[in-house]
Amino acid sequence: MSQFAPDDRVIHSRYQELGALASVLFLLAPHRLVFFRVDAQGQVAVQGAPAVLVVKQTELPLLERAAWVYAQVPNPGPVRVFWYTPEEYASMHDSGFVLAVRLRGEDVVLPPATEPAERGSCEDGPCGLCGRGGLPCS
């Protein structure tokens, strides 16, 4: 699995692909956030719709988690959200889904929650990734 830091240009393109959901996902401050793609059948793929695996403790039932994320923005776009608690994720460690995500996904390293990163070249307000600027990131 590849990994990219908040100051990499790649993360800005991922941020654009995630659209309005990106801010919600970063505000969740998950333990782990992995960007990957899914095909029309929902299988992890090289090309396809953007998807994210979120690992974050929550009391929300499994089927309500993604719905909660989608409800936070007026137009969430085609992004698929898979949200698991740390315990659920650990129990799925050897599943085909998690193995495929680890093979094709990109771990997103979140900027520190207490201080925004001082990197990037965005404009017009905080973008949540580099701590400067806003959408669209350049």
pTM of full prediction above 0.95: no
pLDDT score, position 53: 94
Q: How confident is the model at residue 13 (pLDDT cuts 50, 70, 90)?
A: low
Residue 138 lies in a domain: no
CATH number of the CATH domain containing 81? 3.30.460
| DSSP sequence for 14-76 | HHHHHTTHHHHHHHT--SEEEEEEE-TTS-EESSSEEEEEEE---SS-HHHHHHHHHHTSS--
- Per the structure, the complete domain to which residue 44 belongs is given by 2-108
In a domain, residue 129? The reply is no
Which of the pair, 137 or 65, is modelled with greater confidence?
65
Does residue 118 lie within any of the structural domains?
A: no
Residue 134 reports pLDDT greater than 50:
no
Residue 125 counted as domain residue: no
How much is the mean pLDDT over the chain?
Answer: 77
Higher-confidence position of 28 and 91: 91
Contact, 33 vs 81, CB < 8 A?
A: no
> Is 132 within a domain?
no
Number of domains in the chain: 1
